[in-house]
Amino acid sequence: MEEEAQLPNFEFDNSSGNDDEYNSNQKEKRETCLKGCGRPANVCLCNQLPTKPLLTSTQILILQHPHELRHRLATVPILTKCLQNSHTLTGRRLRHGSSPLLDSLFAASLQDPHPSNRAIFLFPGSESSPSIELNQWKLLNSTELSIKDLVLIVFDGTWKHAKEMVSASLPFLSKFACRVCLNYDVGVDGGTIFDSELVLRKEPFSGCLSTMEAVARSLRVLEPRGVEIEQSLISVLRAMVRFQAFYLKPVKPRPKLLRKGKDEETMKKKSSEVLG
């Protein structure tokens, strides 16, 4: 893929007093694309979407937190228009009755104490519920893995919401799905992947991805045409970021962080003077 200049980090103006007026004005002024992407006409992505939704052997199921439905930069609506075998559920947890597909996997696990690895869910592990890196998982299951039957489950929400969703879903998911993760580093403050060129929201540590990025990287590992699929998805995401960058405000440094930085700089100067 062609290298692009890095984009700045952005945040929304969430001043509550003007939200209703802003939303009302936006509805009056903006025309919405009805034939393809469903986005406002001035940031339409129809020309960037694949001519036909990409066909994958892997089935992708996304649990989207209700709060994400009103997020202006949510990537899931675009992701599902790019992938043919993707489905979205809105809620805070997965349980029996959430999805016929997952219910069938759960039922199979009750009959077979050692079910085949047909389902994985993507989220970094914890001490009580460890995860395995996706490349390792694929190597360990390469002999028995039938890629056409694989189900990839992802969680769409803020980091806090996603952790809550995974925790609430574990009693159900742990019966039939393996917990996997992508490479990440909890010791480094995060932005995003691809040399931070797609930064939109501050993440808790390096390697945290948007849902679209996470699915793209996962399919790169899981699909025979994974590299091609990843490139197609990321090119759409890049276009989305470029369009949206014109309508977002750059992040302003927080006063407390500025004061902290100045205090640390002052302490360093004093220390150097003492040592000198």
Residues near 47 by Cβ (< 8 Å), separated by ≥ 6?
Answer: none
Query: pLDDT band at 4, cuts 50/70/90?
Result: very low
pLDDT higher at 266 or 118:
118
Q: Edge to edge, what strands does the sheet with 151-156 contain?
A: 86-90, 59-64, 151-156, 119-122, 177-181, 132-133
Which segment, 7-16, 26-35, 182-191, 221-230, is predicted with the most confidence on average? 221-230
Give the tens place of pLDDT for each residue, 147-157.
Answer: 567 999 999 99
For the chain, give the percent of residues with pLDDT over 70. 63
Give the tens place of pLDDT for each residue, 242-261.
Answer: 877 666 555 555 565 455 55
Q: What is the mean pLDDT of the chain?
A: 75
pLDDT at 191 over 50: no
Question: Region 177-197: what's the mean pLDDT?
Answer: 59
For the chain, give the percent of residues with pLDDT over 90. 39
Share of the chain residues as helix, strand and coil, in percent rounded to the nearest 5 = 45, 15, 40
